[in-house]
Chains A and B, each alone.
Chain A
Amino acid sequence: DGGITQSPKYLFRKEGQNVTLSCEQNLNHDAMYWYRQDPGQGLRLIYYSQIVNDFQKGDIAEGYSVSREKKESFPLTVTSAQKNPTAFYLCASSIASGGSYNEQFFGPGTRLTVL
């Protein structure tokens, strides 16, 4: 079955700790994205990657880092520099083709809570 997986589903972190959220896709999509969603709000873009070994900051990249060493994987690290990390984190992917835009497909999300 093709799709996007995220792990873990729930994550608890103590203040001052870094944590890494996993995102894997087997859809052969070139582009991958990380979003954050807070209660009652829309999704906000953290980072995105259009190709392996390349990524760009989104609107709220401060306190986060990513890597894209493989096409299938786009892990997100929430660092201790992120002041308010408790949120629902969503990973997405899409086909990236020149001159056109395609819809994004989402993983099931990770709920991060800082204790």
Chain B
Amino acid sequence: RKEVEQDPGPFNVPEGATVAFNCTYSNSASQSFFWYRQDCRKEPKLLMSVYSSGNEDGRFTAQLNRASQYISLLIRDSKLSDSATYLCVVNDGSARQLTFGSGTQLTVLP
């Protein structure tokens, strides 16, 4: 079983749509959680950290469910510029290493 699992997609949605990505992780000792965005042939960039109480940054909302070991990212009012691959990232709880999911590809269509 992969340590961090994501639906690879692709998700093709129209502009203005709401889209949600899910991610599950296997290490119950994980302490830190992140969503990164990666554009085609570019480096990953931090989109947002995920906090236990859930957090929102503009059109983006992240949720964490520790009991189910599940993280989600919700994007409202999708823009063409949101087209990218979204990586779910979890730390290993002990050695300060990050484990990356394979990513979910999003294409926002005009």
Interface on A for B, CB 8 Å cutoff? 31, 35, 40-45, 48, 50, 56, 58, 88, 90, 96, 101, 103-109
* Interface contact A103-B34, CB-CB below 8 Å: yes
CA distance A42 to B103 in the complex (A): 7
Which of these, B8, B34, B49, contacts A40 with CB under 8 Å? Answer: B8
Q: What does the 1/0 interface line of B83-110 toward A look like (CB < 8 Å)?
A: 0000100010001111011110000000
Which chain A positions have C-beta within 8 A of B43?
A: 90, 106-109
Whether, in the assembled complex, B46 has its beta carbon less than 8 Å from a beta carbon of chain A, the answer is yes
Question: What's the dominant secondary structure at chain B's contact region?
Answer: loop
Which chain A positions have C-beta within 8 A of B34?
A: 103
How many A-B pairs have beta carbons closer than 8 Å: the answer is 43
Query: Can you list 27 A-B contacts (CB < 8 A)?
Result: A31-B96, A35-B100, A40-B8, A40-B102, A41-B102, A42-B4, A42-B87, A42-B103, A43-B87, A43-B100, A44-B100, A45-B97, A48-B97, A56-B95, A58-B97, A90-B43, A101-B32, A101-B91, A103-B49, A105-B46, A106-B43, A106-B44, A106-B45, A108-B42, A108-B43, A109-B42, A109-B43
8 Å CB interface, B14-48 against A = 31-32, 34, 41-46
